[in-house]
Structure 1
Amino acid sequence: MGTSRFTRPKGLDGESTPNLFVANCGPAVGLSLDEIASAFCKFGEVCGVYPADESGARVIVSYSEVGSAQAALKALDGHSCSDLGGRVLHIRNSILRPPSQVKDSVSVCLLDSELGIPGIYLLHDFVTTEEEEELLAAVDGRPWKSLSKRRVQHYGYEFLYEARNVNTEQQLGELPHFVSPILEKISLFPHIEKAEDVTLDQLTVNEYPPGVGLSPHIDTHSTFEGLIFSLSLAGPCIMEFRRYSQGTWLPSSLSSTGMQEQNPDYCSSFTRRSIFLPPRSMLLLSGEGRYAWHHYIPHHKVDMVRDNMIRRGSRRVSFTFRKVRAVPCQCEFPQYCDSQK
């Protein structure tokens, strides 16, 4: 996260505050924020428990009264806390950062119905844990291509990052046999209209190490058709969606990854939504959600989801299935469409 409203300042140990920096305490050591609040509320009213940093092992406990914080500090610092599994806590006073240092956030949805973006759907437990293990073993048995911050594999067609497109004359072959069960399940996806073509011929496998995400982008209209499926494996993350108020596509906004990235100097006003993607879930981008909303994975090691701090794990692997476009895009969102510009 790195954007906690609190900090442990140097030389503050002699100054009493209602906020405590607590080390050896947090989701990374098996303690939820609710469990921590329950243990500390014995000393007074707890206003909130917040992540202190990205480690997941340090939190800020904020009391309504200074006296409550100091009572907790005296009783728990350096001692085993039976209410928190016997962990020995290390506690110091903390202060509130100026509001200018607080980064804005957006509420994280758990269901696509809460997200409210037309064309975006999420199915939990799309594959079983056994299928997940088999898919990961299959890609780990094949060569990876290293990018600057992550590793990728391409099947069907290779995405040409320099040209920002695929070469339809150089097909790599059919999609690998180990994804055949996934393709069969996709054909039965409940939110697909019968008239829509669900034939998919391009697969990109991305491996994200901890803290690595994606910049805001729309998959290039002229390159891929309107249905994009993304299966999350191994680790969770949150995905944010942004609808820019102007959103005109500019050639200079194409990134080195070949995706259409919004130029922040051109358009700074946007609507934000966010959803939690657990392992084994399948995300469908279609319609407005695919063509008009940028999607983005924050570069975090820890995500805040409904007051719970969730670590992303040692890796996250995504399988993104698409269909290469054979004719120019004629979508209903020309302001975002490179084919219509």
Structure 2
Amino acid sequence: MGLPRFKRPEGTSEPSSNLYVANCGPAVGLTLDTIETVFGAYGQVKGVHLADESGTRVIVSYRDEKSAESALKALNRRACPELGGRSLHIQYSVPSVCQVAVNDSVQVSTEASELDIPGLYLIHDFISAKEEEELLAAVDSGPWQKLAKRKVQHYGFEFHYNTRNVNTKQYLGELPSFLSPILDKMSVFQKLGYTETVLLDQLTVNEYPLGVGLSPHIDTHSAFEGLIFSLSLAGPCIMEFRKYSTGVWPTSADTLSDEEAQHSDKSSKFLRRAIYLPPRSMLLLSGEARYAWHHYIPHHKIDVVNDSRIRRGLRRVSFTIRKVRKGPCECEFPEYCDSQK
């Protein structure tokens, strides 16, 4: 089973409801949700997908050709303020007959120690099945905020997806009581050699429907401190990690030439690792894993782990627990750090 791909346009392409958009994507700091919102101003968008593994090109699929034509005329080769001022390179595209493997040929590990990513830890069965059931019931009793493809809840501080940051002046209150049993267990990471203690104050709950993933990104350095905890509930997934050789992608509109934007070999070398996250497992990103590696959940319905095909559940819920940063980041990875640009 594979995922559909789209062809890179060759020469003058015929009108289509699908647009191939270069110089745009998660590797340049633009989430698929943000891109969908901007292109949605020109018509109903069916979806936004990565055009390839570079993270700098996407496919925007409209319901009709007229909407695609309007977006192309309005945005092609023009700086778009809503997308970081980037100059987009847009052409029509059509579905490709080729298919890609479920995991795109990246080896999937089941233990964090196998990935050789400093600061990455994974604990299986961090909570019991009963605790998982209670946590799901707790969040399902609260209000959900709908995004383009998933639902979220925020506690402590709200995360703003348009700026990828938090407003430290908008305090939502203490973390919910249902999180206390999880926080009480954090000391278990000391057995893995991690000894830092920090008072966590922000929780984002995500609900992913079957087949929905997460764009490659690094949690904004200036937004959060050095620990990112992620608890998986209800369903499994593959999480991929990418380390770009040139750090975070440049964000000025004129940094990438048209030629560079079209060819990933010149603009997007990266290392790839992948790990299987079963339900009730807790992942910790710290140090290099938190500050220098993009993390990414492929948009799959089926993952391959050790030659086994594992179908994701109808829903996956994640608890991302962090500490909001109150000042600039002074980490040891300035090439990836928004505070040190």
Given the two structures, how large is their TM-score scaled by the length of structure 1?
A: 0.66
Partner of 2:157: 157
Q: Find the aligned partners of 1:127 and 1:110 in 2 and give their Cα distance.
A: 18
Partner of 1:206: 206
Q: Find the aligned partners of 2:163 and 2:327 in 1 and give their Cα distance.
A: 18
| 3-state SS in 1 of match to 2:203 | strand
Indicate the structure with greater strand content: 2
State the Cα distance separating 1:161 from its structure 2 match. 2.0
Structure 1 residues 192, 198: CA separation in 2 closer, same or farther (over 3 Å shift)?
farther
Partner of 2:248: 248
* Matching residue's letter, 2:319: F
Map 1:44-59 to 2 at 5 A: none
Q: Is the 8 A contact 2:2 2:99 kept in 1?
A: no
Q: Is the 8 A contact 1:231 1:280 kept in 2?
A: yes
Map 1:101-116 to 2 at 5 A: 101-103=99-101, 104-116=104-116
Q: Find the aligned partners of 2:330 and 2:236 in 1 and give their Cα distance.
A: 34
State the Cα distance separating 1:245 from its structure 2 match. 1.1
State the Cα distance separating 1:101 from its structure 2 match. 4.8
Deviations 1:18-59 (A, max 9, x none): xxxxxxxxxxxxxxxxxxxxxxxxxxxxxxxxxxxxxxxxxx
Q: Does 1:189 align with 2:189?
A: yes
* Matching residue's letter, 1:226: G
* Matching residue's letter, 1:319: F
Runs of 4+ residues deviating >3 angstroms: 98-104, 191-194, 248-253, 263-267
Q: Is the 8 A contact 1:292 1:336 kept in 2?
A: yes
How many residue pairs end up in the alignment?
A: 238
Q: Find the aligned partners of 1:100 and 1:131 in 2 and give their Cα distance.
A: 43
Q: Find the aligned partners of 1:126 and 1:193 in 2 and give their Cα distance.
A: 16
Q: Is the 8 A contact 1:244 1:267 kept in 2?
A: no
Q: Find the aligned partners of 1:211 and 1:165 in 2 and give their Cα distance.
A: 26
Partner of 2:88: none
* Matching residue's letter, 1:105: S
Q: Find the aligned partners of 2:252 and 2:204 in 1 and give their Cα distance.
A: 24
Structure showing greater Rg: 1
Q: Find the aligned partners of 1:101 and 1:317 in 2 and give their Cα distance.
A: 28
Q: Find the aligned partners of 2:248 and 2:275 in 1 and give their Cα distance.
A: 25
Given the two structures, how large is their TM-score scaled by the length of structure 2?
A: 0.66
Deviations 1:155-214 (A, max 9, x none): 0000122333111111000000001010011134224644x2321000000000000001
Q: Find the aligned partners of 1:192 and 1:174 in 2 and give their Cα distance.
A: 29
Deviations 1:122-150 (A, max 9, x none): 00000000000000000000000000000
Partner of 1:136: 136
Partner of 2:296: 296
State the Cα distance separating 1:296 from its structure 2 match. 0.4
Map 1:1-341 to 2 at 5 A: 1-2=1-2, 101-103=99-101, 104-190=104-190, 191=192, 193-194=194-195, 196-251=196-251, 267-341=267-341
Deviations 1:280-299 (A, max 9, x none): 00000000011000000000
Q: Find the aligned partners of 1:265 and 1:175 in 2 and give their Cα distance.
A: 44
Q: Find the aligned partners of 1:124 and 1:208 in 2 and give their Cα distance.
A: 20
| 3-state SS in 1 of match to 2:289 | helix
Gaps of 5+ in 2: 5-95, 254-262
Q: Find the aligned partners of 1:173 and 1:252 in 2 and give their Cα distance.
A: 37
Structure 1 residues 111, 319: CA separation in 2 closer, same or farther (over 3 Å shift)?
same
Q: Find the aligned partners of 1:161 and 1:197 in 2 and give their Cα distance.
A: 28
Q: Find the aligned partners of 2:330 and 2:106 in 1 and give their Cα distance.
A: 32
Q: Is the 8 A contact 2:2 2:100 kept in 1?
A: no
Structure 1 residues 312, 102: CA separation in 2 closer, same or farther (over 3 Å shift)?
closer
Q: Find the aligned partners of 1:299 and 1:307 in 2 and give their Cα distance.
A: 19
Partner of 2:53: none
Gaps of 5+ in 1: 5-97, 254-262
Q: Is the 8 A contact 1:240 1:275 kept in 2?
A: yes
* Matching residue's letter, 2:113: S
State the Cα distance separating 1:3 from its structure 2 match. 5.0
Partner of 2:46: none
Deviations 1:52-102 (A, max 9, x none): xxxxxxxxxxxxxxxxxxxxxxxxxxxxxxxxxxxxxxxxxxxxxx99754
Q: Find the aligned partners of 2:323 and 2:288 in 1 and give their Cα distance.
A: 17
* Matching residue's letter, 2:321: F
